[in-house]
Amino acid sequence: MSQFDQIIDRKNTQSVKWDTLEASYHRNDLLPMWVADMDFQAPEAVQSAFQSYLNQGVFGYTIVPDSFYDAVIAWQKKRHSFTVKKDEILLSSGVVPSIALSVQAYTHPGDAVLIHDPVYPPFAQVVEENNRKLIRSQLYTDDKFVMDFAEMERLIQEEDVKLFVLCNPHNPGGRVWSQAELQRIGDLCKKYQVTVVSDEIHQDIVYQPETFTTFQNADPSFKDFSIILTAATKTFNLAGIKNSMVFIKNPDLKQAFEKIQKQNHQDEINTFGVIGTQAAYEGGSQWLDELLEYLQENINYAYNFFQNTLPNVKVSKPEATYLMWLDFSAYHLSDNQLEDKLVQEAKVVLNPGISYGEKGSQHMRINIACPRATLKEGLERIASAFR
């Protein structure tokens, strides 16, 4: 039995995924397979680091030790062949907050910001909440999601795009953008002087034989006009500690980011975020390798289930992330009807594809990061409503 087979009761733990369902849907029999966190315990190394901090019982203001930076630098080097120095690392309370700070640092109100469609919903929210002009370029599906470079170039030119927010690997599509794809998109942004924010929070959840390329490794010149956002929180199931890293090699981009951070007093970091991230990077490697094997088997299980039991739901295996993108268009339901059927008949909660952009209509995103028994239960529930 794998450690990940253990069923942990997350109800009544203040969990967004588990403890908001009754208020939203007025039922208590729903299985949540939505929000992107995992129904697994964090690595032992993280739990014991928190425990020793708790044991000393004083929780005053803290500093970020050099050993934190050493752990981040070593992780990037070992796992991603990426060289980053201490003075190129800023900390923030999350990747989404960092996208918001980037929008404020690198654009003015009214400026055009480019994102893909579909993509993780806060990308669009951050742009619009900051009164920037939202421009979307649709990914198209050719078995897997592919970027439309011609459309992106047209939009960049026509709309005078100033900033592009890239999701690498891609949520919800599970694509690991190849070096060649990153080269093309980077060359385009360089040509038109578009700053790139690369959200790489899913960089560690990548399945063999795919390999992840950080945007700044795709070409040595890309560091001049881009910043990288990442975190240990998705990888090690620590979303609640609210901690992330920003890698900025261009001193001008760094100065502009720091200025906005200071203006908003957003440069002070939660102690648990620092402790959890450092402990995970220092002691979580083996846990992560075992997790990846387990997730890969869950993906294979779900993929085979849909192929054999519900072939009308089209699905492909993600190259990265523990999220799968399900195409329900064969059922000809509206987005509301689809969500209703899943909640009321299947009694599962997935993320409606439409929330990721128009391209997500008639799709759903399922989170498979749960014990296999829970996954089987969820898939059976879906099958019983759609068979």
Ligand X SMILES: Cc1ncc(COP(=O)(O)O)c(C=O)c1O
Question: What are the residues binding ligand X (CB under 6 A)?
Answer: 36, 94-96, 120, 167, 171, 199, 201, 231, 233, 239, 244
Instruction: Choose between 49 and 165: whose C-beta lies nearer to ligand X.
Output: 165
Does residue 100 sit in helix, strand or coil? helix
- Closest residue (Cβ) to ligand X? 94
Name the token pair of 218: 């795709």
Check if the beta carbon of residue 210 is closer than 8 Å to that of residue 319.
yes
Closest distance to ligand X from the beta carbon of 197 (Å): 11
164 or 386: whose CB is closer to ligand X? 164
Q: Give 144 or 190: the residue with its C-beta nearer to ligand X.
A: 144
- Min dist CB 266 to ligand X, Å, is 13
Identify which of residues 91 and 310 has a Cβ nearer to ligand X in the complex: 91
Smallest separation (angstroms) from ligand X to the CB of 36: 4
CB 337 within 8 A of CB 385: no
Cα radius of gyration rounded to whole Å, the chain: 21
Q: Which two tokens stand for residue 379?
A: 């898939």
The answer to whether the beta carbons of residues 291 and 298 sit under 8 Å apart is no
Helix (H/G/I), strand (E/B), else coil: 338: helix
**Min. distance of Cβ 372 from ligand X in angstroms?**
22
Rounded CA gap, 294 and 1, in Å?
Answer: 11
Least distance in Å: CB of 39 to ligand X?
15
CB 25 within 8 A of CB 341: no
Smallest gap from residue 233 Cβ to ligand X (A): 6
Nearer to ligand X, 171 or 235 (CB): 171
CB of 135 to ligand X, least distance (A): 18
Question: For the CA atoms of 317, 177, 202, 205, what is the dihedral angle to 10 degrees?
Answer: 50
CA-closest candidate to residue 348, choices 326, 324, 375: 375
By beta-carbon proximity to ligand X, the closer residue of 167 and 382 is 167
Angle (deg, nearest 10), helices 271-283 and 66-80: 40
Identity of the residue, 231 or 256, whose beta carbon is nearer to ligand X in the bound complex: 231
Decide: residue 282, CB within 10 A, 0-12 exposed, 13-18 middle, 19+ buried: middle
DSSP state of 360: G
Of the pair 112, 167, the CB lying nearest ligand X is at 167
Q: Compute the least distance from the CB of residue 244 to ligand X, in Å.
A: 5
Write down the least CB distance from residue 223 to ligand X, Å. 21
Neighbouring-strand partners of residue 352? 364
CB-nearer residue toward ligand X: 201 or 310: 201
- From CA 352, how far away is CA 97, in angstroms rounded? 23
For residues 265 and 227, what is the distance between their CA atoms, to the nearest angstrom?
A: 20
